Structure 1
Amino acid sequence: MSTLTTLASGQLLAQEETLSTHVGNPWANIGIFLVFVCITLWLVLRASKNTKTAADFYAGGRSFSGTQNGVAIAGDYLSAASFLGIVGAIAIYGYDGFLYSIGFLVAWLVALLAVAEMLRNTGKFTMADVLSFRLKQRPVRIAAAASTLAVCVFYLLAQMAGAGALVSLLLGIDSRAGQSLVITVVGMLMIVYVFIGGMKGTTYVQIIKATLLIAGTAVMTVWILALFGFNFSEVLGQAVEVSGEPGLLEPGLQYGADFMTKLNFISLGIALVFGTAGLPHVLMRFYTVPTAKEARKSVVWAIVLIGAFYLFTLVLGFGAAALLTPEQINNAPGGQNSAAPLLAYELGGTLLLGLIAAVAFATILAVVAGLTITASASFAHDIYGQVIKKGQIDSKGEVRVGRITVIVVGLLAIAGGIGAQGQNVAFLVSLAFAVAASANLPTILYSLFWRRFTTRGALWSMYGGLGSSVALIFFSPVVWGAPTSFFPEIDMALYPLTNPGLVSIPLAFFLGWLGSVTSKDNEDPAKQAEMEIRSLTGVGAEKAVEH
């Protein structure tokens, strides 16, 4: 191990000056980016030829097989937070950073077992289709669309911040203005992808991205283990030695130092475990397959791919800690988010860096596209089509409004990403999970499993969960007063935790119950029975979807 340590230290010292400005050859990095963009744009343009109806734009014409959709689900779920953020968090915080991997993986299982197939059997295009099935259409659709848009915007902040960090690192851009320009370019490219290709084009990008991401991380994982004689204990030992942090392999480096950080961890864990089951862009993916059988097949593929990936992040994170110093990671453009591309450069030089960077870029672009198509569907289908037009709108009109929404959401994502520069993307995604778990999950579970649930309960739960989670985030150290805050110079943090889940999620469940038991509304028992049968058996689901 001492020989490896000496070699790594010598390499780090020799490259320290170069890495402070850029990694690898910027022109080579740009070239690999352009190849990827050209290939995916060609696929999107091909997909656009068959994107004519609302079902085409929002659900890809329901033409994908279970295998294709399973890979695409993995692509949707494995975001920049999973790759850039978690590897960086493990490299800096060790054991505590790996808790993000565990949380994201367990959360996926909760989503699959509790809600995914039932939602697919009951819905049409969006989560609001399900929530309004047995309740009053207009108010529930408005509330569901509002929560969907809020979750998508929070999630987009993380992805755009990751895009800025990654591309800025590769091109040697270390000024805030330069990174802002990069985020703007990435955002405009994403708008083009979704505007032209819709869900079909987005799905093809997701499949390519997931394949490249898992293959790339698998290669890096084997490479790291080979350097240490396939002895993971050696990797951990050198990670402790290079980082200079004896507690890297023990709990408490990020969470657990005092009572408040322990509460922070509990809040984070609750948000991660329950958040996925309320993420609209992941749940929407189940509407792209033709049958419930294909939906179940999607689940199998997604579990295998996602589970393998999170095992890879453990090796990549501690491998980065073993081969890179904390200063080298933190001082690079993008901070912790740069650990994965820096590790790729350390292992394989410019070529591997360019390939891994293209994979990371694909990861960001695909997830951003998925979020944008979800936000577009939520507004165009639920607000404009069903509330404003009361269902009296043709497919082409709905698609036209959806494309306008894509542009608006894209511009909001660009503005938010510029403001979120420097934040760890895994942490930013945890905020989106908290909002999703607070605003969406209680209403979804109550709608599927509780017959006494009413429209008032749904509205109280969604608005209460959404309002409390957003308010707690706004008045927390995430925004005010801490060195990593959006406004570090001003201390207006009234809520001491960095994640609202500990308060907002139980509050949303309580409000859903309270609103229902105090409501005098009598929901239609026939609709309740129909929803229960359809959600559990899928009977009638295909017919409803076609219409």
Structure 2
Amino acid sequence: MSSTPVNLAQEASTTVGEPIVNMSIFVAFVAITMFVVIRASKKNATASEFFTAGGGFTGPQNGVAIAGDYLSAASFLGISGAIAVYGYDGFLYSIGFLVAWLVALLLVAELLRNTGKFTMADVLSFRLKQGPVRTAAALSTLTVSLFYLLAQMAGAGGLVALLLDITDRTGQSIVIAVVGVLMIIYVLVGGMKGTTWVQIIKAVLLITGAAIMTVLVLAKFGLNFSELLGSAQEMVSGSASEAVAARDIIDPGARYGGSGLSKLNFLSLGIALVLGTAGLPHVLMRFYTVPTAKEARRSVVWAIALIGAFYLFTLVLGYGAAAIVGPDRILASAGGENSAAPLLAFELGGVILLGVISAVAFATILAVVAGLTITASASFAHDIYGSVIKKGNFDDAKQVQVSRITAVVIGVLAIGLGILANGQNIAFLVALAFAVAAAANLPTILYSLFWRRFTTTGALFSMYGGLISTIVLIIFSPAVSGSPTAMIPGSDFAWFPLSNPGIVSIPLAFVLGIVGTLISKDTENTDKQAEMEVRSLTGIGAEKASSH
């Protein structure tokens, strides 16, 4: 049995296309998008142009870009791999991400857009004390962005390792570093305008590529989805691994069945996925790139249609990879679970389709990391440097300069963390970022928008409590140590039993927000509360604010 993975790994490493062709398609994509970024970046002098593209995108353009921002490598590589290996339980990521997006739109997206200017902290500090709340919001934004970046970097390492046949950790680490450097260049040169165009191009390519692969997979099974499911289960049942062969990938429970602890882990994951999007700063910031509330609503319609269609495609792609490629070959390949979609592309269309789909996946990673980096750097420059350190006494040029320096620092940190997380399933890593966003940001966003009595102390209790509890529980969870799939597999300092802490940290943050408000003696500005309520619901004043 022990020799099987070696043979499969050798087979995988010799049957994933031509590294030279794959590299050529990568280079062509980077060259084209770099040209677009340079063309788009001619006007990037003011903070508004650099951070929000001057609010110059239409609703449909921004809707496509939102889909590009939201459909990360986790959606394409991570979910396809999770469905291929675990079946129904893997598809729960798709359901969670889609429902999360609808929750984010219904609860907060337009209200935030109407109230803010550049960043999430603009909204959270609108009627509270500026300094402490902006600092907490910026720290939370930076933390969520780093977790999300970590997932994308890990995806880049696994994907390029598979395509260029790089199996050693050093080579994969170099690949991650190259992705980080490209990401930094996109942000430094293009700002939000350049980054948005990269996301639009990437979204069109990703959804088109996934649609073509979906049609090819269904065509192989006579457009009969039931036959596809049966073939996938048959392939899994014939696995050389006893653990994989015992799975029923059509019914729930292949990953989150069995013990009560496993089911609790699933519930925790579900809570983090559904509530996390409404607290993701890089997705919420996209709504500031349109000029009016009407265009923001048009963005929403486009984004829902594109994102919903894509997640239906992942169901076919995941089961298609299980039926056509097989879980053994997927798990034995250089990218592990994350290699399911590229391997499926190779089986369906040979070297060319593999190269194109892989370039699309690579584009996905580059676009998302660029969006994350500009969000994090904008948050630091606008919220901490501009509002806390300089107390509003700064010019646009200096703010943009600080943002660019921050982008470099964040890029270097992301490279280091991405190397550490290389090999993890990226859908799982993104779920950790969702847990941080849901605990640290969502309670304060909801309380700020809907609870008149909410105070600065309540905001700080909720944000710091949610952030610290989530980070601590993740560090001491099986995600980091004490399990075969942990980030640090050789050690065991895990005392928290769940891989995702959402079920504990998110309710805790909501409770802390209430406790902090009830025990505080803060007297908040009632005029500001009334103004925020009117602005958030009607958009009056938002267009004027975003133009400054």
| TM-score w.r.t. length of structure 2 | 0.97
1:453 alignment counterpart: 454
Shift of 1:522: 1.1
Name the CA distance, whole Å, in 2 between partners of 1:68 and 1:521.
43
**1:295 aligned to 2:288?**
no
1:239 alignment counterpart: 232
Residue 96 of structure 1 aligns to a residue in which SS?
helix
2:127 alignment counterpart: 134
Identify which of 64, 71, 82 aligns with 1:78: 71
Name the CA distance, whole Å, in 2 between partners of 1:47 and 1:194.
12
318-327 or 81-90, which moves further after superposition?
318-327
- Summarize the Cα distance change of 1:24–1:14 in structure 2 as closer, same or farther, 3 Å threshold: farther
Counterpart amino acid of residue 303 in structure 1: I
Given that residues 76 and 206 in structure 1 are in contact (C-alpha distance below 8 angstroms), is that contact kept between their aligned partners in structure 2? yes
Counterpart amino acid of residue 100 in structure 1: Y
Question: Deviations 1:398-437 (Å, cap 9, x if unpaired)?
Answer: 0000000010000011001000011000000000000000
Shift of 1:22: 5.9
- Summarize the Cα distance change of 1:456–1:21 in structure 2 as closer, same or farther, 3 Å threshold: farther
Given that residues 334 and 421 in structure 1 are in contact (C-alpha distance below 8 angstroms), is that contact kept between their aligned partners in structure 2? no
Identify which of 117, 120, 124 aligns with 2:117: 124
Name the CA distance, whole Å, in 2 between partners of 1:390 and 1:375.
19
**1:474 aligned to 2:478?**
no
Identify which of 198, 216, 227 aligns with 2:220: 227
2:307 alignment counterpart: 306
Given that residues 9 and 334 in structure 2 are in contact (C-alpha distance below 8 angstroms), is that contact kept between their aligned partners in structure 1? no
Counterpart amino acid of residue 143 in structure 1: A
Shift of 1:348: 0.4
Question: Deviations 1:289-335 (Å, cap 9, x if unpaired)?
Answer: 00000000000000000000000000000000001121210111120
Given that residues 82 and 90 in structure 2 are in contact (C-alpha distance below 8 angstroms), is that contact kept between their aligned partners in structure 1? yes
Name the CA distance, whole Å, in 2 between partners of 1:223 and 1:113.
35
Counterpart amino acid of residue 31 in structure 2: C
Residue 249 of structure 2 aligns to a residue in which SS?
helix
Identical residues among aligned pairs (%): 71
Question: Deviations 1:349-374 (Å, cap 9, x if unpaired)?
Answer: 00000000011001000000000000
Counterpart amino acid of residue 247 in structure 1: D
2:190 alignment counterpart: 197
In the TM superposition, 1:182-221 aligns within 5 A as 182-221=175-214
Name the CA distance, whole Å, in 1 between partners of 2:408 and 2:328.
39
Name the CA distance, whole Å, in 2 between partners of 1:236 and 1:92.
13
Name the CA distance, whole Å, in 1 between partners of 2:114 and 2:177.
38
Name the CA distance, whole Å, in 2 between partners of 1:346 and 1:367.
27
499-508 or 44-53, which moves further after superposition?
44-53
Shift of 1:168: 1.0
Task: List runs of 5+ in structure 2 lacking aligned partners.
Answer: 1-5, 238-244
Residue 138 of structure 1 aligns to a residue in which SS?
helix
2:424 alignment counterpart: 423
Counterpart amino acid of residue 438 in structure 1: A
- CA RMSD after TM alignment: 1.3
Given that residues 162 and 337 in structure 1 are in contact (C-alpha distance below 8 angstroms), is that contact kept between their aligned partners in structure 2? yes
Name the CA distance, whole Å, in 2 between partners of 1:388 and 1:256.
50
Question: Deviations 1:494-542 (Å, cap 9, x if unpaired)?
Answer: 1000001000000000000010011111111100000000000001111
- Summarize the Cα distance change of 1:229–1:53 in structure 2 as closer, same or farther, 3 Å threshold: same
Identify which of 48, 52, 56 aligns with 1:55: 48
**Which portions of structure 1, spanning 4 or more consecutive aligned residues, are displaced by more than 6 angstroms?**
13-16
Counterpart amino acid of residue 542 in structure 2: A
Task: List runs of 5+ in structure 1 lacking aligned partners.
Answer: 1-12
Counterpart amino acid of residue 111 in structure 2: M
Question: Deviations 1:56-77 (Å, cap 9, x if unpaired)?
Answer: 1100111000000000000000
2:507 alignment counterpart: 506
- Summarize the Cα distance change of 1:142–1:15 in structure 2 as closer, same or farther, 3 Å threshold: closer
Counterpart amino acid of residue 345 in structure 2: A
Residue 31 of structure 1 aligns to a residue in which SS?
helix
1:346 alignment counterpart: 347
1:162 alignment counterpart: 155
Given that residues 380 and 398 in structure 1 are in contact (C-alpha distance below 8 angstroms), is that contact kept between their aligned partners in structure 2? yes
Shift of 1:487: 1.6
Residue 178 of structure 2 aligns to a residue in which SS?
helix
- Summarize the Cα distance change of 1:372–1:16 in structure 2 as closer, same or farther, 3 Å threshold: closer
